[in-house]
Chain A
């Protein structure tokens, strides 16, 4: 397990760098701090969901429930938001953990394929969210600090005055990025660092990869396969819940019908990030690169329209994303065939 960065994994990082360079050269303001921070703030939800999905996929499973779990969690946290930041946060994450527990139990105890099990949990979570919210969106309280989880900048209070000055220079820009770094992006960043440590330096990470490489063999070796599988769905549920909290905090409402298609977007990010869907291999940070890559396509499309040369409707973004996914999987299938197993 020496190479953590597969060929495709390096590929996605290079592609991301090229895309950023392209945008930076072509569009004014693309690399401006406002744009960077907006992209990061918006995509942090998808990054969290993608991280959970990455762990699930490394065990050879799949979690279709993440979108509706996030929607349900956003409703729960919106209801709890008047009581403060912490109750809202814990409530949303808790709702996600409950859904993850359910998926994990159905898969490990009833021995039902992850695809079907999480499909059922997806329906159940979506039904629960709609029931709780009475089929409407639930307004978040702005009196508590809850909305800072989505709209705030964690370190803004410590920002020295001179940074926003006119002649702050590049040093000021860099520090400005740091102090204006959005709270949800901090949350996602911490989650990825923890995820990476867990995957690479903890026994659990080895178990995840071993189960994905061969569940029966891992069981025979005496690894706690059921516990490992259960844990990844718990993690995925919890992170989807956290994404739901950020969703509610960022847009000011718990939204029971949001999250449609998030699961497939997350799977696409993981695959673009070079993690094999067959399990047993994967990397956390290339998944992040995959999320940003697919997210940036939307931003680039907006900037391109802003140039006024062409007018591409927002609908093109899904066509471009699909085409991107196509190129990546074809390259991966070529790499997989030429590289020794």
Chain B
């Protein structure tokens, strides 16, 4: 058990760096918009979706209706559907942990739990999923609280430190690339996204990119295994 806690802590260090900084930034911006610690804490505990929480500040100050709020959330977070699809098997027999594991499946947690973890024995792996999810959630809440409370007192130039999250995604991408002979899915992910970015813009390219990726991956595998999947 001790070993798995240590592994989860070490593996989540990059997320800690990123979440503390991004959470801190969120706390400060929310404070500047006129909302204090209770709002910040409740948002980070229960919404727990970074880019949506940043977007929410604009919705608050713009006086958006609840319908607008709901639709924006759906658009910004639609990518979660993909994470779920690829974790159905891995989270299958996680028992009581499962609802929390699903609730806490952020981009960064996903990047850690989607890796090939078969080296860890199954029982321990379930606890590893839980610990990674829990630690990441705590970092996010702690960062937000610090930003909301002490944001005005501390001045340091943290510009660029959120690159830690980009770096995390790059290493996971590379690890997957190096450990697999089939590079088409990875290439499809990068290629379709790069194609959609200039067409739909930085704010709107994720959903078309996801649709494109889904279509390619469905066709690709279907082709490979012959006509078996016609009715699937």
Q: Do A and B come from one complex?
A: no
